[in-house]
Chain A
Amino acid sequence: MKKLIILLIVSISFSQVQAQVEHGNVLIKNGTVITITKGTFENTDVLVKDGKVSQIAKNIATPAGYKVIDATNKFVMPGIIDAHSHIALTGINEYSNAITPEVWTGDELNPFDISIYRALAGGVTVSHALHGSANSIGGESETIKHRYGTLDMNVLRMENAPRTIKFALGENPTGHGRRDGLQPQTRMGVEFVIREAFSEAKQYMEAWDKYNKEKLIKGFRGAPPTYSLRLETLADILKGNIIVHCHSYRADEINMLLKICKDFGVKRLVFQHVNEGFKVAPELAAAGAMASVFSDWWAYKLEVYYSTAYNAAILVRNGVVTSINSDSGELIRHLYHEAAKTQKYGGLSDDEALSLITINPAKQLGIDNRVGSLEVGKDADIAIFQNHPLSIYTIPMMTLVDGVVRFDREKDADDMRIYVDPKEVVDIPTLHAQDRSHDNCLRDAEKLTVKMFGIN
């Protein structure tokens, strides 16, 4: 028993230690280097030192002890970033209340999820592990790096990435309200519960400010205000410490949240899905709000029936910082193809289209100083493709995170699971294709989906 307790203490103290992240030293030779921000260069090398890009030039000599990757006739681009994903999470919807900012998807990270590897096999190195959309204000979310192979959930976390939180408007939160006979059941109600939450947070913040000031005065004898993680988190949104990522579809509700944020001084705002963003593109641009969209998903529910695949192009042309996301363990594997659709639907240039899955999502997650383009000093998150990444005939060949090869099409085994239960008999496959009528954001709330929509 004593041993067990010691073991427990040791393991707890171990988990407190800063996660050990592996960094690589690599020279990627002779590729077509697509930097995204600084142009595209043929027959060019990328030198990676300690997991960072240290030089981009022709004919770089191989430093001693460096791994060399021959990228002749291949395309080298920054790792793809997905601003909306739910992979690597064991749970995504805390839908017990309309307002749950006290929870955090970072508590649900699962480094064993094979979806991380499959995303790497599509060149994706960073994803935003978002809370679901069952409630108006959901939980804080986690930005992860796809360091597949680690057994430690902490290694997945992207160090020093800004805090983000999920909001949700429209059918999902109102459907939840209807099920439980609670607010919100309408888009009017959604506006109210968010305004109410912000108002309470403002009072809370002011009460603490007052207390913190007064307690310094000699002879002060008052008690501190009651601590609340819920209000603490909301107050951090008001202070600008957390980026809001809001699930939304219709133009009216997008406009509504823009007004709330203006009234409460919230400036860091990204709309997710935002299928009707194109209808309020001038308003989004004027507010400096950003948009993370599907390339072409529509008609799976009423609020996306009046959509257009030209959404991304219209937003870009109106000056909105736009990204293309997956919200799906399937789509995340070919975001490069999803980005290419903006060339058909709106005629975006190669750099514009590739920005939608690199530098733009990096801006939306507040990590564009670290990733999203190939520049000296940035993290060596790199994807190497055979054929141009926007061509249908492209094949992702190799993906590096912090200069460490995490996907290699030619060398990897078929079975890339990390955790294998030797007793497990896998006789029953899962057919994901039969599951497409769902909003992925409602995972864990499927009982609610069934009740709401009578499906399956």
Chain B
Amino acid sequence: MKKKIQFLVSAFVLIAFVAQAQNPKAKSGTFALTHANIETVTKGVITDGTIIIQKGKITAVGTTVTVPSDATVIDCKGKWIYPGMIDGGTRLGLLEIGQIPQASDEDESGQVVPQMKALSAINPNSALIPVTRISGVTTVITAPGGGMFPGTAALINLHGYVPDQMFAGFEGVVMNFPNQARRGFYDRRTDEDIKKDVEKATKQMNDVWDKAIQYYKLDSATKGKGLIYYPEMTAFLPVIRGEQALMIEVNAANDIKAALKWVADKKIKKVIFTGVAEGWRFADEIAKAKIPVLVGPTLEEPARDYDRYDKPYANAGLLKKAGVKVALRTSQAENVRNLPYYAGFAATYGLGREEAMKAVTIVPAEIFGVADKFGSIEVGKVANVFVCDGDPFETKTNILHVFIDGWQMPMVSRQTLLYEEFLKRDPGLNKN
């Protein structure tokens, strides 16, 4: 009898262990999120409203919505619903562990490698992805970094088992504009060295672009036939044709000025500035050029000792005030989850809450040309939404449910699992 019980207990433990060892899956189906406060972003706030999610889309929003009979109903009384937040610049999926080269796929060798596609190297099973999406960030730009033209960035949704299932409809060629700034404490080049490096890089940039234009002209003249295999130049073609955006990383004030001139001189059709740390110094000029910006990180030290301490917090607000189209980015991999806090700081220091909310939802969607699918809660849009128990920018707010492409995400990550295991560890101090 004792043995039998022992066997039963161990079998039970085994089953429990196996059940726990399995990762919970996302669920699809019809969902009704009822009695919620819905911040649509584009169409105001709906109180005591309902959202219906079917086949990955938002099929109804409002106060007089009929709940389909097959719907899984989630009562959201007293809760808030927002469109999934969009981060305008990350390394998510490319960078797993910062200091381990084998775990970073963001930086290919070579200064001019625009043909390197982030979308090919995104690891859908990165441990960083569940950590991010359960914070309400559903969609991110993931971008390569390194050389002058380090590759092509992609917009992805944070759920899927192959990159194709994650792709959210935008790619852009990344460019690091010749950088007249130090890159942190270890950069101990003299001012002269930096100026020389910038001159050299500027010459290379112009040479590359002249070549790309020539290649484009040949391509147009021959209708793409008979051209030699030249993948770098091929990758520039959609940018020159104006089909794809050039995402120019530019931060120092002088570089922003130079980039504005370069873009105008080269008549580049679709341009996005990224980073823009000192954008506030040339906010009017950026606004005049009608170039949208992906600003960030907000939580940063001023780039000059004599600048006011809160300038990086205020940057997004100052740009917006000048009339620039402003979206935010974290520039992070492992802590993209902090996007709402970057937005909160921007909101507090001048951008205002409403604009800050737009800067992580509808504005990036517009900049990436996917506002018909993402960035607000409207009928017909992709069901990227999350439910929370308060203002999502507030630090203590809990995110309760997340839907991506209409799939209900399991609200777990390795970090929550560790919490469950170790809050009250078993065995504790004594094993027996």
A residues neighboring B (CB under 8 Å):
114-115, 117-118, 121, 278-279, 281-283, 286, 296-302, 305-310, 313-314, 317, 329-330, 333-334, 337, 340-341, 343-346, 390-395, 414-417, 420, 426-439, 443, 446, 449, 452-456
Contacts and interface: CB of A to CB of B under 8 A. Distances in A.
Given A282-B428, A282-B429, A341-B395, A393 B344 contact: yes
A395 B348 contact: yes
Given A344-B396, A392-B395, A443-B185, A454 B422 contact: no
Given A308-B415, A432-B300, A437-B99, A282 B186 contact: no
A429 B252 contact: yes
Interface stretch (B8-16, B307-315, B361-369): B307-315
Nearest to B281: A429
B128 interface: yes
B395 A337 contact: yes
Given A307-B415, A431-B182, 4 more contacts: A118-B309, A302-B100, A333-B309, A392-B344
Contacts of B183: 430-431, 434-435, 456
Interface residues of B, number: 70
Interface string B329-349: 001111101100100110111
A224 B41 CA distance: 79
B301 A429 contact: no
A427 B344 contact: no
B226 interface: no
Contact of B301 (A317, A329, A345, A426): A329
B400 to A, nearest CB: 12
Given A308-B419, A309-B415, A314-B423, A430 B100 contact: no
B398 interface: yes
B101 interface: yes
Contacts of B278: 429
A455 B297 contact: no
Contacts of B162: none
B187 interface: yes
B1 interface: no
Nearest to A437: B98
Given A299-B128, A300-B98, A434 B305 contact: no
Contacts of B275: 431, 433
A114 B184 contact: no
A329 B312 CA distance: 14
Contacts of A417: 305-306
Contacts of A431: 179, 181-184, 251-252, 275, 277, 303
A429 B303 contact: yes
A244 B398 CA distance: 37
Contact of B307 (A333, A414, A443): A414
A427 B415 CA distance: 43
B180 A428 contact: yes
Nearest to B413: A308
A365 B34 CA distance: 51
Contacts of A391: 394-395
A430 B348 CA distance: 25
Contacts of B349: 395
Nearest to A416: B309
Given A302-B100, A432-B301, A310 B184 contact: no
A344 B254 CA distance: 41
A343 B395 contact: yes
Contact of A308 (B254, B300, B414): B414
B253 interface: yes
A308 B331 CA distance: 20
A414 B308 contact: yes
B187 to A, nearest CB: 7
A343 to B, nearest CB: 4
| A283, A393, A415, A420 interface centre (most CB from chain B within 10 Å) | A393
Nearest to A121: B309
Contacts of A283: 429
Contacts of B258: none
Given A314-B423, A329-B301, A432-B303, A340 B395 contact: yes
6 contacts: A330-B299, A392-B348, A433-B277, A436-B332, A437-B99, A456-B186
Contacts of B301: 115, 118, 329-330, 333, 432
Nearest to B397: A344
B41 to A, nearest CB: 18
Contacts of A309: 415
A90 to B, nearest CB: 12
Contact of A281 (B99, B394, B422): B422
Nearest to B194: A428
